[in-house]
Structure 1
Amino acid sequence: MVHSIVTESLNKLRNEKIRITPQREAILEYMAESDKHPTAEEIYRALYDQFPNMSQATVYNNLHLFVKIGFVKELSYRDTSSRFDFTNTQHYHAICEKCGAVVDLYYPVLDDIEMVAKSLIGFEVSHHKMEVYGTCPDCLEKEIEAYS
């Protein structure tokens, strides 16, 4: 599954006449395999051994290229570094206010919201997002342990 998503993304780059570099391909593969929402710095550190001459700016610039093309989304929360989400399905995010973890939340009921907005109020929706804030299970467990 991950391989086909990366191949599809590389084909999209080729169709846009964008050169496929080993660094670009590695960033895409890392994003597709990651179940987290990494920052540019986290991706840079993860790929450093493979590409010691690649700069953090190269990672950041490629991520913004992927955002522009549409297969990566940039997530900005509060004053923290942007996180990046490689996605091909509509989903939402649960964000821990303690540790900053971002977890994908799939809730198909909301997929119809654009159609509902159109039929109820005549609103033409271009896109939508939902974020849920609270405390993740790991942080809740740490709180319980601290009070025990």
Structure 2
Amino acid sequence: MSEQIKTLFQEHDIKFTAARSSILEVLKETHHPMNYEQIKEKMNITMDKATFYRNIAKFEELGMVHKFEADDRKWYFELSSTTHAHFICEHCHQITCMNVDLGNVEGDVKSIVLKGTCKECRT
């Protein structure tokens, strides 16, 4: 288990389990939002869907994980960091994180999703 994941468990005073560690490690390594199926493929252990979503709900409650729903009606998850926007290509459906300064936005912004055509699909 990486030091970053150990620190997350300690900072949020959350009990360590292999399932929780596996989910967080996958999200740490990918650096982009992933849905349940994508995370499940990369996990080093098996777990049922109910266990996955129960742990994700706990992570979200504690502010460790951020989620948003995309056009494919699937939830996407990523480790919480600064609030940022996501870009979804309407052709290939790739999701990328965008470095957009949201410091002047009033209120409690949960997610910003921009849609369009990515560079690869434009050519």
TM-score by length of 1: 0.72
Unaligned 5+ runs, structure 1: 115-124, 142-148
1:113-137 Cα offsets, whole Å, 9 max, x none, are 22xxxxxxxxxx2335422110112
Query: For 1:99 and 1:60, how far apart are their aligned partners in 2?
Result: 26
Specify which structure has the higher proportion of strand.
Answer: 2
Using CA pairs under 8 Å that are at least 6 residues apart, name the structure with larger relative contact order, 1 or 2.
Answer: 2
TM-score by length of 2: 0.84
Unaligned 5+ runs, structure 2: none
In the other structure, the counterpart of 2:92 is 99
Q: Contact 1:99–1:139 (CA<8 Å) still a contact in 2?
A: yes
Specify which structure has the higher proportion of helix.
Answer: 1
User: Where has structure 1 moved over 4 Å in runs of 4 or more?
Assistant: none
2:35 is equivalent to residue 39 of structure 1: yes
Do the aligned partners of residues 129 and 23 (structure 1) sit closer, same or farther apart at CA in structure 2, a change above 3 Å counting? closer
Q: 2:18 aligns with which of 8, 18, 22?
A: 22
CA offset at residue 19 of structure 1? 2.2
Q: Which amino acid aligns with 2:73?
A: T
Percent identity between the two aligned chains: 26
1:90-127 Cα offsets, whole Å, 9 max, x none, are 2111111112211111122x31222xxxxxxxxxx233
Following superposition of structure 1 onto structure 2, how do residues 124-135 of structure 1 map, counting pairs within 5 Å?
125-127=107-109, 129-135=111-117
Q: Which amino acid aligns with 1:126?
A: D
In the other structure, the counterpart of 2:65 is 72
Comparing 89-98 with 128-137, which one deviates more in the overlay? 128-137
In the other structure, the counterpart of 2:119 is 137
Larger radius of gyration: 1
Q: Which amino acid aligns with 1:111?
A: G
In the other structure, the counterpart of 1:117 is none
Q: Secondary structure at the match of 1:98?
A: coil
Query: For 2:28 and 2:122, how far apart are their aligned partners in 1?
Result: 29
In the other structure, the counterpart of 2:8 is 9
Q: Contact 1:66–1:72 (CA<8 Å) still a contact in 2?
A: yes
Q: Contact 2:83–2:109 (CA<8 Å) still a contact in 1?
A: no
Query: For 2:21 and 2:110, how far apart are their aligned partners in 1?
Result: 29
Q: Contact 1:91–1:105 (CA<8 Å) still a contact in 2?
A: yes
Matched length: 122
